[in-house]
Amino acid sequence: MAAGERSRRAPARKGRGGNGTGNGSRRTGGGASTRKTTTTASRGSGRGQASRNGGGATAQKSSSSGADDSGGGLAGLISRRANDWSLESVDPGFVRAQRHVWNLFQDHYFRMDTEGWHRLPDPPALIVGVHAAGIFPADAWMFGLHWFRRFGQQRIMHGTAHEALMATPVVGTYFRKMGVMSASRETVSAALEAGRDVIVYPGGDVDSMRPWRERDQVKLAGRRGFVKQAILSGVPIVPLATSGGMDTMFTLTEGRGLARLLGLNKLARTEALPLVLGLPWGIAPGMLPFLPLPAKIRTELLDPIFLDDDPERAEDDEYVDAMYAEVEQRIQAGMDRLAARRSFPVFG
């Protein structure tokens, strides 16, 4: 379904108190009208109102399910280290100090274009996208920097990364100072409740390590947790389409069979061990750090989707499936439009 088409509406549950539409629809920053799916309960029931300040929220250390049910061994250690996080980890001054270097990459190396800023609703929002090209996806990183350049401390957005990266010494510390966190329910909920935007990539490694021949296909991997997160946090979903990231490194094979054989899903929570072509290694395992090729990256923020914020909807499989399909279809339509502008890989 294209972004301009009417959103699906799931029938409201019967027998619940109140017949109104709750809090109504929030307007986007550019004045574009938005739509809200049927709501049977008012926002914030049992969850409290999110504060609107972008930088002054009280730090909330993640309680992290990793400490309780992540288990032992390497996977448990990774989970515990990855979720050692607080709202105060982000350091806007640290981000600003790097702006000249990253602006050079955005404007001249990747020639980054981002459209649709006017469609953003009031914060907080859950942005849902796809990313590409290995363990350090250039498109995701550049979008986060583009966001900071536009909003600074006035509207902080937290990126999310794989637990293995967040648990890595030095890399994890750097990511935290840049505002990145693990994509656990606890960390995402804490950021949204503080009035901050969060971007998630549900497809994870299935998405970022997809073969180059599937570069323009949406890969959310059937993971519907982001829909439940938006319902429980009472925030809209903003789909994000992107094109060009897969041209920064060419994934030849996913290596899912080899990953299963080595037990990487249990050891490092990854389902792929791809073989890629890129700089400086040539053909090598995708887990190595690669120098991204200077591909042109295009992104577009699409129309927000306002979900029913009745907490019981999070357990309504039919409703969750419908909203998942809505997000997937909108991102795919956006990616198709952006890909149509590409005249040649890498060069754009």
Per-residue pLDDT, averaged over 26-37, amounts to: 41
| CA neighbor of 137 nearest in space, from 66, 221, 200 | 200
pLDDT at 250 over 80: yes
Q: Confidence band (pLDDT; 50, 70, 90) for 78?
A: confident
Counting residues of the chain whose pLDDT is more than 70, the rounded percentage is: 77
Output the pLDDT for position 209: 80
On the question of pLDDT at 229 being above 90, the answer is: yes
Per the CB < 8 A criterion, the answer to whether 312 and 14 are in contact is: no
Structure pTM? Answer: 0.76
Q: In this structure, are residues 121 and 28 in contact, taking their beta carbons and an 8 Å threshold?
A: yes
Confidence (pLDDT) at 101: 95
What's the pLDDT at 185?
92
What band does 123 get if pLDDT is binned at 50, 70 and 90?
very high
Q: Copy the structure tokens of residue 327.
A: 């997000």
User: From CA 142, how far away is CA 92, in angstroms rounded?
Assistant: 16
Q: Is the pLDDT of residue 156 over 90?
A: yes
Name residues whose C-beta falls within 8 Å of residue 34's C-beta, 6 or more positions apart in sequence.
Answer: 25, 26, 27, 28, 121, 236, 303, 304, 306
- Looking at residue 269, its pLDDT comes to 67
What's the average model confidence in pLDDT over 283-300? 90
Terminal alpha carbon distance of the chain: 26
Q: Looking at residue 36, what is its pLDDT?
A: 41
User: CA 208, CA 288: separation in Å to the nearest integer?
Assistant: 14
* Structure-block tokens of residue 69: 């049910």
| H-helix or E-strand spanning residue 301 | strand 298-301
The answer to whether the beta carbons of residues 200 and 128 sit under 8 Å apart is: yes
Q: Does residue 150 register a pLDDT over 60?
A: yes
Residue 76 has which token pair?
């448990």
- The pLDDT value given to residue 46: 36
